[in-house]
Structures are given as C-alpha cells and as structure tokens.
Amino acid sequence: MTTSPPPLAPPLRGARAVVFDTDGVLLDSAGLHAAAWKAAFDPCLAAAGQPPFDPEAEYRRWVDGRSRLDGAAALPAARGLRLPLGDPADGPGSGSVHALAAAKEAAFVRGLAERDVPALLGAPRLLRALGDAGVACAAVSASRHARELLRRAGLLEWFAVVVDGTEAARLGLPGKPDPALFLEAAARLGVPPAECVAVEDAVAGVEAARRGGFKAVVGVDRASGGSDTGAQEGALRTHGAGVVVSGPAELLDAAERRRT
C-alpha cells in the first residue's frame, strides 16, 4: 500500500519542524506595522528637514523583522541623525530612540483598535497540512503582540512554541539578524536547526536563520508583482533564502493550492 505524500511544496518536505516569522508571513500585519513606524518617524524627520519615512523600501530595509528598539535606532542612523538612546520610561515622542519606540508602539496599538489583522491567504491550510504531516511548528517574532495576533487570526492553536518580543526581552535574546530567536524556538521544539525549515519575509530574519544553520530558509517576497519586483527577492536570496515565494499558499503543493 502506497502512502500519499503530504500536500506540501518541496521546500518543506523532509523537515521535522518549521519555524515561521509571523508579520507578513502568516499575518497581514506588515502594513499596520509600517504605518505605525511612519507615524513615529515622520515628526522626527520633519524636524530635521528630511523627507518622510518610506513605508515600503525603508520599512523593509531598516525596521522589518527587528525589535522595536533596534528599528527605532536603525532608521535615524541611516538618515544621518544622532539621537540619544534615552530611557525606557520615555513617553512617545521623537527626542530619543526610546521615545521613537514608544511612539511606534502607541501608533500600532491605535491601529489594532481600528482594524483586524487577518491570516494571509493559505496560512490556515498550510499550518493544518503541516500538523497532519506530523511537522512541528513554532512562531518567532520581534513583536510583543505576536501571540495575541495569532490568537485573533485563529492560528495560535497550530503552534507548539511561540517566541515573541516579550519572551525575547525576558530571556535577554538579541534581535535579528542574530539567530537567537530562531535557535530558541528550535530548542523548545527539541529539533536541531539542521532538521528545521525557517520561513521569513525580512532580510534581517532570513540572515538570522541562515546564521542559525537551518536546513532551509524560505523567503517571502511580499513585493512580488509590485513596482520593485525582483529587488526584494534579490535581497532575500543574497542574505540566505534558498527559495523565495510570494506567500504561504505557495508552500502547499499545486493541487492543495487550488483549494486555498
């Protein structure tokens, strides 16, 4: 008697576990994060006489996949602005890195109150297929909201492990492109990185998974089909993605994808 292969695309076949980033990979939340960063950065940039924050190119280059504090430091530095680190108690503003981070958090929370963050096309079916195939799943994210967003999107039940920004802060884990988040997730699953696939949309996250020695790194190019088609795919491949897809539906085999 022959057994039908699981309805998974080749990049996931043979993996014992899959570690997913959340924003822009499973959840349609990247736009909300980018808008929150724009609300935080634009007053700071305007005060310095600089153009507004680009919520596409600059978001992907400087803040996507990074912790809130790392992102708040990276963009001003890239623009040649010197901001003091400030204090964790700083309220929302633009006078310090901590103040920018607080402004981004406040804007993101306001955005969450105004709109839902749904699962991306194919994500529920992909997670179900992995579960049916006996492949363990973990979620990693620099966001402290990841667990709640996965719950609200109906995806949390599929994850044996979630290592989010709250856990990273508690454990003192460095942010991406350091591989610590991915390695912590793999360790909690009890699966060596060499037997895990990582799925990421951020350049920093792809680099983190590559540095962590994962079996395969799948990049998700949310810009596929847009004005800069090819640029993001190239960046993902340069930093370690062996395969690049446009979304979770492409990680199902062709027959299963048609049902998504």
The residues carrying an active-site annotation are 21, 23
- C-alpha dist (Å) from residue 193 to 30, 131, 167, 189: 26, 19, 19, 10
Q: Count CB atoms within 10 A of the CB of residue 215.
A: 20
> Which strands, in side-by-side order, build the sheet including 243-245?
161-163, 136-140, 17-21, 196-200, 216-220, 243-245
Q: How many CA atoms lie within 13 A of 165 on its CB side?
A: 16
Distance of CA 3 to the CA centre of its chain: 34
Do the Cβ atoms of 85 and 96 come closer than 8 Å? yes
Distance of CA 74 to the CA centre of its chain: 17
SS3 160: coil
Alpha carbon distance 43, 81 (integer Å) = 13
Alpha carbon distance 256, 179 (integer Å) = 32
Q: How many CA atoms lie within 13 A of 221 on its CB side?
A: 21
